[in-house]
Structure 1
Amino acid sequence: MPASSQTSRHPAFATTLANGLAVLQCFRAGDPILSNRDLAERTGLSKATVSRLTYTLCLKGLLMHDAQLRRYRLGAGVLSLSHALLSGMRLRQLARPLMRELAAATGGTASLGVYDQRHMVYVETSRGHDLIAFRPDIGARLPVMASAMGRAWLAGAGPAQRQAVLDELERHEPEQLRKFSKALAIAVEDWKAHGYCVSEGDWQADVHAVGVPLRMPVDGERLVFNCGVRVERLGAGGLRKEVAPKLRAMVDHIERLVTDGGHG
């Protein structure tokens, strides 16, 4: 995942920093422990470069080395950086009680997310159920084209910003773009007509979800709320008839609170 040639040619671009961040971005929920070889393959960097980066990242507390496995995992320093980010998002505290109410009313999960590199990332989530198999958590990443949250973010974006993301998908994930381009076009029309977007099993087959973006940026971020419900808990047309109106009402309420409280 090296930087694009256009970006890396900029005189202010710090290549070593970008390479170190690329190493950190290789770790995912399903891949918490990686070797230097794994990291070299995923970043396209040489093994020698990766070895220097992992050594330095360990010294800074951003990676931990498991000597027995001869592999690396993220260090506590990453968690400290995440806490600084999350604690600065005042909207999370503002929205949390309303998200709990929505999750309880729908028997689903209400979440708040931001866009990051062709994905949406949860920064807050509330569950109204005890299902072990369906427990999205803070930091979870969703594909931008397949998820209701991602479609809502794209639908609410301006044409230029949306096209920039689609161009990036064309370069890095053309399969996702081809598979869901028609669904995105429908999502944009849904957003214009109804103020929400849906994903009915496109990301997780047994979960239907609806997404609604905030109409104004907060602290410079364009944020999106979603609500996902297991299919067996939905009646016929329940996603659009019951869940979507509740989510829209919650977002409208939050927008009024943000405006009255001077956030953004």
Structure 2
Amino acid sequence: MNTLTGMPRDKKDEVDRKFVEALARGLDILRAFNPGDGFLGNQEIAQRTGLAKSSISRLTYTLTSLGYLTYSKRLEKYQLGAGVLALGYAFVSNLAIRQVANPLMKELSIATGTSVGLADRDRLDMIYVDHCAPKDIVTFKKEIGDKIPMANTASGRAYLVALSQEERDFFMGHFKEKFGDKFEAIKAGVDQALENYEKFGYCYSWGDWEPDTTAIAVPLKLSQGQIYVLNAGGPAFRLSQEFLSGEVAPQLKSMVRNIEATLIRF
């Protein structure tokens, strides 16, 4: 898959003919809501999506009628409705990789004292589809649906190294456009990740995303071409680079191989 929408690039002309602009705009509105947002008004949605307020008014009305948004007359704002939850639950509950990976993730989390996550790509971010953390860790817990950036995290780098050069160049082009002066540092991190993965079989981020966070990650490739990422990490003050590289990385790589072997039967 070579585009941010997941469409194969060689079908660009076909996509252009079949692309439904109104549907895309409606989905962009749903994507405008982040965890913890609560209610958003049309003006806020317009700022986040770049859509005209006149278009947003029609689309939010339609999405509310279908149950994907709810409307507060008092606040004159919208929040996500139960229809979105139903879609998300259907996706997560039917995800075979999550059913296979979760027990192994819990085992690794307990054995190493790390937070262990399973992530998929969402545009230029990585989104958690599962996460396990020791009970005594309160600062590095993630929820299903939480996002982290692809550009400078261990998970994002692990996803990028699993791509072909053409696919990776596509994302690097978007990073260059988005990050401007910060792009060279991002590119250096990805180049280093390619070397690390070839040599050691995993990628890392030693405070590159958040200064007090260390993490390692390994890509997981399914036979259908889908790429997921498994990561392990946590607060830097309790998880040293040496511990993650020497103790956790071999176990994380072994877990990925076991999951890949199991999912061949699905």
How do residues 167-246 of structure 1 correspond to structure 2 at under 5 angstroms?
Answer: 167-174=173-180, 177-214=183-220, 216-217=221-222, 220-235=225-240, 237-246=242-251
Show structure 1 runs of 4+ deviating over 4 A: 6-9
Q: Which residue of 1 aligns with 2:39?
A: 33
Q: More displaced, 197-206 or 234-243?
A: 234-243
1: CA distance between counterparts of 2:149 and 2:71?
Answer: 30
Secondary structure of the structure 1 residue equivalent to 2:128: strand
Equivalent position of 1:247 in the other structure = 252
* Structure 2 counterpart of 1:98, from 97, 101, 104: 104
- Verify: 1:257 aligned to 2:262, yes or no: yes
Between the aligned partners of 2:241 and 2:146, the Cα distance in structure 1 is 29
Q: Is the CA contact (8 Å cut-off) linking 2:115 and 2:232 kept in structure 1?
A: yes
Does structure 2 retain, via aligned residues, the 8 Å contact 1:148–1:210? yes
Distance 1:79 1:10 in 2: 30
- Give CA deviations for 1:182-241 in whole Å, capped at 9, x if unaligned: 111111111111110001112222221000011x32555211100112212224611211
Contact 2:105–2:132 (8 Å) recurs in 1 = yes
SS in structure 1 at match of 2:244? helix
- RMSD of equivalent CA atoms: 2.0
TM-superposed deviation, 1:45: 1.7
Residue pair 1:145, 1:176 contacting (<8 A) in 2 also: no
Query: Which stretch has the larger CA shift, 80-89 or 219-228?
Result: 219-228
Indicate how the Cα distance of structure 1 residues 176 and 66 shifts in structure 2: closer, same or farther if over 3 A, else same.
farther
Alpha-carbon distance in structure 2 between the residues aligned to 1:180 and 1:32? 32
Provide the C-alpha distance between the structure 2 equivalents of 1:252 and 1:39, rounded to a whole number of angstroms: 42
TM-score, reference length from structure 2: 0.90
Q: What is the TM-score with the length of structure 1 in the denominator?
A: 0.90
Q: What is the percent sequence identity of the aligned residues?
A: 37
Runs of 5+ in structure 2 lacking a partner?
Answer: 6-11
Structure 1 unpaired stretches of 5+: none
Among residues 114, 117, 136, which one is paired with 1:111 in the alignment?
117
What residue in structure 1 maps to residue 9 of structure 2?
none
Question: Which of 159, 162, 184 is the equivalent residue of 2:165?
Answer: 159
